[in-house]
A and B are shown apart, each in its own frame.
Chain A
Amino acid sequence: MPRAHHVGFIGLSLLLCGCRVSEPSPLERKVVVAAEHDFTVGNRSQKNPLPLTKQTLAAGKEAFGHYCVVCHGLDGQLTGIPFADRMSPPIPSLASKQVQDYSDGQLKWVIDNGLAPSGMPASKGTLSDEEIWSIVHFLRHLPAAGSLGEPDVYSH
C-alpha cells in the first residue's frame, strides 16, 4: 500500500473515532471549564439590570420553562433528561459549582452566545434580553432538584 494511502487510512480512522461521543477526561474537562470561566466567556462585570422580585423570578421560570427545560429539566438540574450524561461534555446541573461560579453577566453571555464545545445554543433573538436576565435570576434561585417533575415531552 502506498504511503499516502496509509496516511489517509489513519486520518480517516482518527476522524471516525473523533466523531463518536465519549465522556471527556477529567483533565480535559478541568482545562475547558477553567478556560471558559477565565477567558472565553465574556461579560464578567455586567450586573443584572432587573431587580430581584417575585414577578421577575416568575418571569424567569416561565421563560426557562418554554425554552430551556428540554435540555436542563424543569428544575435546571436535569431531572428526567434522558440524554444529559450522553453528551460530550455532559450537560451540567445548573445548580453545580461549574455553572454557579459564573457571574450574572457571564450567564447572560452564555445564554446569548451559546458555549462551544458543548450543545449549548446561542439564544440571542430567540429570547429577549429581559427574558434572559429574568432567567439569570431564576438560575440563582433554582427549586429543589426533582420538585417540579420532568418535562412533559419525555413522559407522553
Chain B
Amino acid sequence: MKLKLTFPILMAALIATIACGRLMSHAQATPRRVEVVAKRFEFTPSEITLKKGEPVILVLTSKDVQHGLKLDAFNQVVIAKKGESSQVEFTPGEAGTFVAQCASFCGAGHGSMKLTVHVTE
C-alpha cells in the first residue's frame, strides 16, 4: 500500500519539476522589449540599459521622417519609416557603453542624432 502511494507521488513530483523547468527556461528566453522613439534629431530616451546575454527586442518608432538606428557593436540596424515602428531582436554579447547612430539621413542634425547603449554584466 505504501509503495503504491509513493510511486504516483514521485511521478507527480517529477512531472511538476520538469514543467517548472520548462516554464522557467521559457521565461528566461522571452526577450525584454525596449522602446525608443525617434524624431528630428533625437532619440527618446537618449540612453538605454541592456543586460549582457539577455535577449532584447528593440522597437524603434518614428514620429516624423524616416529614421534608423545603427548599433555597430552588435551588428544591428533597424529602420523605421515615417510615422511607423520597426523592431530588431538581438542578445548583447559584450558589456560596456556603446553609441548607436541614426542610420537614415534625416536632415541637418542627422550626424549628431545618437543613442547611448549601456550593457551591464
Contacts and interface: CB of A to CB of B under 8 A. Distances in A.
Interface in B79-121: 101-102, 105, 107-112
Nearest to B102: A128
Contacts of A130: 72, 101
B105 A125 contact: no
Contacts of B109: 125-126
B111 A123 contact: yes
Contacts of A150: none
Nearest to A127: B111
Nearest to A124: B111
Contacts of A132: 111
A9 interface: no
Q: Report the contact-size class of chain B (Cβ under 8 Å from the partner).
A: 10 to 19
B101 A126 contact: no
B111 A128 contact: yes
Contacts of B107: 126
A3 interface: no
Interface string A115-134: 00000000111111111100
A126 B40 CA distance: 12
A109 to B, nearest CB: 15
A63 interface: yes
Nearest to B104: A66
A27 to B, nearest CB: 37
Contacts of B72: 130
A63 B105 contact: yes
Contact of A67 (B101, B102, B105, B112): B105
Interface string A53-92: 0000000000100110000000000000000000000000
Task: Point out which of B105, B108, B111, B112 has the most chain A C-beta atoms below 10 A from its C-beta.
Answer: B111
A67 B106 CA distance: 10
B115 to A, nearest CB: 12
Nearest to B105: A66
A63 B70 CA distance: 14
9 contacts: A66-B105, A67-B105, A125-B108, A125-B112, A126-B110, A128-B101, A129-B111, A130-B72, A131-B111
Give the 3 A-B CB pairs with smallest separation, nearest first.
A66-B105, A128-B111, A127-B111
Interface of A: 63, 66-67, 123-132
Given A124-B111, A126-B111, A132-B111, 16 more contacts: A63-B105, A66-B105, A123-B111, A125-B109, A125-B112, A126-B107, A126-B109, A126-B110, A127-B110, A128-B102, A128-B110, A128-B111, A128-B112, A129-B111, A130-B101, A131-B111
